[in-house]
Amino acid sequence: MNTQLRIAQIAPLIERVPPKKYGGTERVVYHLTEGLVARGHDVTLFASGDSITSARLIAPVREGLRLGRKEHSPLITTMLMLAQVYGEMADEFDIIHSHLEYVTFPFAVHAKAPTVFTMHGRLDIDDYAAILRRYRHLPLVSISDNQRSPVPDINWVGTIYHGYPPSSFDYNLHPDDYFLYLGRFSEEKRPDQAMMLAIACGVRLKVAAKIDPVDREYFDQRIKPLLQHPLVEYVGEVDECRKRELLKNARALLNTIDWPEPFGLVMIEALASGTPVIVRGCGSAPEIITGGKTGFVCNSRMDFINAIREIDTISRSRCRQEFLERFSADAMVRSYESLYMDLLPDRRLESVLQPERRPEPLHRLLGRPAGAADRS
Amino acid sequence: MNTQLRIAQIAPLIERVPPKKYGGTERVVYHLTEGLVARGHDVTLFASGDSITSARLIAPVREGLRLGRKEHSPLITTMLMLAQVYGEMADEFDIIHSHLEYVTFPFAVHAKAPTVFTMHGRLDIDDYAAILRRYRHLPLVSISDNQRSPVPDINWVGTIYHGYPPSSFDYNLHPDDYFLYLGRFSEEKRPDQAMMLAIACGVRLKVAAKIDPVDREYFDQRIKPLLQHPLVEYVGEVDECRKRELLKNARALLNTIDWPEPFGLVMIEALASGTPVIVRGCGSAPEIITGGKTGFVCNSRMDFINAIREIDTISRSRCRQEFLERFSADAMVRSYESLYMDLLPDRRLESVLQPERRPEPLHRLLGRPAGAADRS
């Protein structure tokens, strides 16, 4: 790798990069940006002003909108950010990477530099599918193959799994004697089923979960009674540090989620901690977890019960190994880098056809820089 | 007028055109579109599928989104509509008139045909001002001069007041013995003040108003007690037909609204009914109402009291006359038509500079068509 690219990363403005708490997209953008800078690229991150980055930061708002003290219109501030990327700064990038999905489309279609889009959400919504099809020529990246299934017939240019730096998580070959449920107390995540399974199997379950106001009624009616059981221990809502401790010491993550999650960061967080994952076979789960190797993919209650009973057959070092091979930030960064190169227009041809439209040299052929230290 | 233009009118998708009940923008778009068709133009209306129009209707959704049976994303369906106007149909219009404001900007900047924007809302919001300034070269129409005051320094190409067909309202030189408050029971409209003024002056007040759920607490605490007074009669929420009756038989409209309304359709509805308007001197009020001629513009409680006492000095036929001269649909349509002509690029010059980019003749010089009957 000795071609330095001028890359724009466009993040949502809702949370800072990286997020203080929740915000999977912002977390992935953080690791991707850090990785690209470390590999010598000239990266500009468009994100809220409280973001932390080794790239050049351009911020249309002072703080992430969710926690900001000033009330902003998310749509207008996002549009202003995109107008800057594609207007004032149009000549400054070889490649633009948007994590904002369809809001970017009208800007991207008129840009000189190609834009690649990572789709971060579910696509099984009619209007959503319609706008993806309307702009079907734009290059999109899925975060799992399963994510594509509602809209297979567009310009998917790759599936790139999310990744974390290996140092983000400790791993532990000798766990404590508990299973773990981690997430929110929302109905589609089926925390009730996780608890009932643990009780049925006579194993301990730690429950680390947040109660969103919208889930309060569900919590009071369905969850609270189950939390009284002696095998169940509610540890409340946890911070990142406590989450890592809980993950690495668990016998397995019990991921009972019952909707087609497009990726599921918590699963690779578990693998990174050496912890196998017992998961329902929906969404991206069968792509991320290999049954019998890094956990179990379950399609029935009996599958879940068998998985809990057989969890000690899974090698925890194999889980960590799988994380390193398939879900490290480095793997993610290299995949995106390779994709960016594929999307660049053929420079020689274009310079013949449109000599005056591209005055800037696209590739600055440099030796690989020592790191991020020499960039402004 | 013998130049037929191919005009796109882009309406909001929230309500149908014309709206069943509330929706000032959709009502104005309706009258403008009908007027342009009547004057022989080739008009395409982009609006919800339940709209009623003499123009060609192109509808990205079956029904107005607020009342639609199917849940749609307003932003995505709007973007799909704009993609059709500016993408697939880009060559079909000489002029595009958007009532969607800033969402249209990224599409309009790359279009061959000029787009003119009517601003329908308040502009005194920081983010809003910022995006108007970012696209300051685009031609904007204000609906009152006062509306511009937060952002005077952009490309305002005209103020065009809203208008109604004269037949929309009956007028009446001999009113009944009541004043009228018409609107919602929301705090910034000051219905409480309208009632207290009527009580203080010993005059009857009919109150025709809607209670929005968000205003329920205000209604219970501040309004309900005042509605008990024998001089105050609450007639509930009224339909268009009943509204016209109430307007034309009122001695005056008592418009106590206390925020800078950019236009205020209810004031011209009153004038069209021959009914003078007593209004607070904020927003567009001093432009629409001429003190001592079509009502009174009040800046204090004493002003309001004097206005109520002196209301019979106002000539009701003068009010109707003012409506016909300044606020008829015909005046509005002619103003927009003239503006469209001004915004057209110089055909001869452009055909020399870019012969291949504009294959279509822009002006089809025709005699003025007999009406809308001969269009598809």
Which CATH number covers residue A221? Answer: 3.40.50.2000
Cβ distance A252 to A315 under 8 Å? no
Q: Do the domain assignments include residue A306?
A: yes
| B52-91 per-position pLDDT tens digit | 999 999 999 999 998 777 889 999 999 999 999 999 998 9
User: Which residue in A has a C-alpha nearest to residue B102's C-alpha?
Assistant: A76
Number of structural domains (chain B) is 2
Q: Is the pTM of this model over 0.90?
A: no
Q: Is residue A211 pLDDT above 80, yes or no?
A: yes
Same domain, A299 and A346: no
Average pLDDT of chain B to the nearest whole number: 90
Q: Do the domain assignments include residue A1?
A: no
Q: What is the pLDDT of residue A373?
A: 37
Q: In A, which residues are within 8 Å of B83 by CB distance?
A: 105-106, 131, 134-135
**Three-state DSSP class for residue B273:** coil
Same domain, B301 and B267: yes
The percent of residues above 70 in pLDDT, for chain B, comes to 91
Residue B166 DSSP one-character state: G
Q: Is residue B311 pLDDT above 80, yes or no?
A: yes
* Contact assignment for B76 to A102 by CB distance below 8 Å: yes
| B208-248 per-position pLDDT tens digit | 998 888 999 999 999 999 999 999 999 998 888 999 999 99
Strand-pairing partners, residue A117, are: A98, A140
Same domain, A339 and A196: no
Same domain, B320 and B335: no
* Contact assignment for A72 to B131 by CB distance below 8 Å: no
Q: What is the pLDDT of residue A105?
A: 98
SS3 content of chain A, % helix, strand, coil (to 5): 40, 15, 45
Lowest mean pLDDT among A15-24, A36-45, A118-127, A360-369: A360-369
Q: Do the domain assignments include residue A371?
A: no
Q: How far apart are CA A354 and CA A362, in angstroms?
A: 14
- Rounded to a whole number of angstroms, the distance from the CA of B126 to the nearest CA of chain A is 8
Domain that holds residue B254: 167-326
Q: Is residue B350 pLDDT above 80, yes or no?
A: no
* Contact assignment for B128 to A77 by CB distance below 8 Å: no
Same domain, B15 and B156: yes
Q: How far apart are CA A108 and CA B58, in angstroms?
A: 25
- Rounded to a whole number of angstroms, the distance from the CA of A98 to the nearest CA of chain B is 16
Same domain, B139 and B89: yes
Q: How far apart are CA B227 and CA B195, in angstroms?
A: 8
Same domain, B189 and B120: no
Q: Is residue B358 pLDDT above 80, yes or no?
A: no
A2 pLDDT band (50/70/90 cuts)? low
Which alpha helices (H) appear in chain B, and where do they start and end? 24-38, 74-83, 105-108, 126-134, 191-201, 216-218, 224-227, 240-248, 265-272, 285-288, 301-309, 316-326, 329-343, 347-353
* Contact assignment for B80 to A134 by CB distance below 8 Å: yes
Q: Do the domain assignments include residue B373?
A: no
Q: Is residue B39 pLDDT above 90, yes or no?
A: yes
* Contact assignment for B134 to A80 by CB distance below 8 Å: yes
A236: burial class by Cβ within 10 Å (0-12, 13-18, 19+)?
A: exposed
Average pLDDT, stretch A332-356? Answer: 74
The one-letter amino acid at A305: I
* Contact assignment for A76 to B128 by CB distance below 8 Å: yes
| A124-172 per-position pLDDT tens digit | 999 999 999 999 999 999 999 999 999 999 999 999 999 999 999 999 8
Q: What is the pLDDT of residue B347?
A: 57
| B272-295 per-position pLDDT tens digit | 999 999 999 999 999 999 999 999
The percent of residues above 90 in pLDDT, for chain A, comes to 82
Same domain, B264 and B319: yes
Same domain, B80 and B15: yes
Strands across the sheet containing B115-118: B56-58, B42-46, B6-10, B95-98, B115-118, B140-142, B156-159
Average pLDDT, stretch A34-41? Answer: 97
Could you say which of A326, A342, A357 is where a domain stops? Answer: A326
* Contact assignment for B130 to A82 by CB distance below 8 Å: no
| A80-114 per-position pLDDT tens digit | 999 999 999 989 999 999 999 999 999 999 999 99
Q: Is residue B373 pLDDT above 70, yes or no?
A: no
B207 pLDDT band (50/70/90 cuts)? very high
Here the tokens at position A158 are: 């790759």
Q: What is the pLDDT of residue B23?
A: 81
User: Could you tell me if B129 lies within 8 Å of chain A, comparing CB atoms?
Assistant: no
Q: What is the pLDDT of residue A17?
A: 96
R_g (Cα) of chain B, nearest Å:
22
Residue B178, CA atoms < 13 Å, CB-side half-sphere: 21
Q: In A, which residues are within 8 Å of B130 by CB distance?
A: 76, 80
Q: What is the pLDDT of residue B362?
A: 36
Q: Do the domain assignments include residue B370?
A: no
Same domain, B242 and B231: yes
Cβ distance A143 to A160 under 8 Å? yes
Q: Do the domain assignments include residue B1?
A: no
Same domain, A190 and A310: yes
Average pLDDT, stretch A306-326? Answer: 97
User: Could you tell me if A82 lies within 8 Å of chain B, comparing CB atoms?
Assistant: yes
User: Which residue in A has a C-alpha nearest to residue B73's C-alpha?
Assistant: A127
Q: Do the domain assignments include residue B277?
A: yes
User: Which residue in A has a C-alpha nearest to residue B61's C-alpha?
Assistant: A127
B368 pLDDT band (50/70/90 cuts)? very low
**Phi, psi (degrees; rounded to nearest 5) at A221:** -80, -45
Q: Do the domain assignments include residue B372?
A: no
Same domain, A148 and A181: no
Q: How far apart are CA B42 and CA B45, in angstroms?
A: 10
Give the length of chain A. Answer: 376
**Three-state DSSP class for residue A139:** coil
Q: How far apart are CA A162 and CA A160, in angstroms?
A: 7
**Three-state DSSP class for residue A255:** strand
Q: Which of A79, A107, A125 sits opposite B102 (nearest CB)?
A: A79
Q: In B, which residues are within 8 Å of A78 by CB distance?
A: none
A359 pLDDT band (50/70/90 cuts)? very low
Q: What is the pLDDT of residue A184?
A: 86
Q: Which residues contact B107 (CB under 8 A, 6 or more apart)?
A: A106, B82, B83, B85, B86, B115
A22 pLDDT band (50/70/90 cuts)? confident
Q: What is the pLDDT of residue A127?
A: 94
ipTM: 0.85
Q: In A, which residues are within 8 Å of B102 by CB distance?
A: 76, 79
